[in-house]
A and B are shown apart, each in its own frame.
Chain A
Amino acid sequence: KAGVTQTPRYLIKTRGQQVTLSCSPISGHRSVSWYQQTPGQGLQFLFEYFSETQRNKGNFPGRFSGRQFSNSRSEMNVSTLELGDSALYLCASSFDGVGNQPQHFGDGTRLSIL
């Protein structure tokens, strides 16, 4: 069974630009969550999608948005990029939600803002 796939692996952008990251979950998993990881803040929850609906949201500004498609693939978009958005963005999938199911993580997209 293929794991969680995130693309691209690395991305360099400049301030003010926007970026879209992609996540393909494990086949059969309907829940996809996104996390931001920085050295100082650890893993911070961005949002969770389940059956194409955003079910949970963390404390991030509206510049961070996402969506989920009918095949459970998910995209995350960040608009008007700031230097502080430089981070590793991780996607995780589970069968039916951010609950007692193990989260299966992708290798992440490392975003650098110049």
Chain B
Amino acid sequence: GQSLEQPSEVTAVEGAIVQINCTYQTSGFYGLSWYQQHDGGAPTFLSYNALDGLEETGRFSSFLSRSDSYGYLLLQELQMKDSASYFCVVGATNKLIFGTGTLLAVQP
């Protein structure tokens, strides 16, 4: 079967660092993506990992361990505008599997 798990909610303060974890189980896996969605808006692509290791894009980093079927999104120097839902997305053969999303609340 296939499954994907990520926490439903995370709360952090402005300026802090937060890590959103994602574990998955699927056949034909070839990559892990992260998307951000603000309330009422369209999901937007943040990052993609096909190989083990860390990918950094500004304040956001994403990590993948294929052997552990695990990845995470790291957000540094949190800002109020980072309050949104973050989706972990597994890319498998000819399909994408979306997680149910993690609602990040950034507090002042």
A residues contacting B by CB (< 8 A) are 4, 33, 35, 41-45, 48, 55-56, 90, 92, 97-100, 102-108
Chain B positions within 8 Å of A35 at CB level? 98
- Tally B residues with Cβ within 8 Å of A: 21
Chain B positions within 8 Å of A100 at CB level? 30-31, 48, 50, 91
Q: Which of A43, A56, A90, A106 has the most CB of B within 10 A?
A: A43
Within 8 Å of chain A (Cβ to Cβ): is B18? Answer: no
Q: Which of A4, A35, A55, A100 has the most CB of B within 10 A?
A: A100
Chain A positions within 8 Å of B80 at CB level? none
**Contacts known (A42-B101, A43-B87); A102 close to B33, Cβ less than 8 A:** yes
7 more A-B residue pairs beyond the given contacts A42-B100, A55-B94, A98-B96, with a C-beta to C-beta distance below 8 A: A35-B98, A45-B97, A92-B43, A99-B94, A103-B35, A103-B43, A105-B44
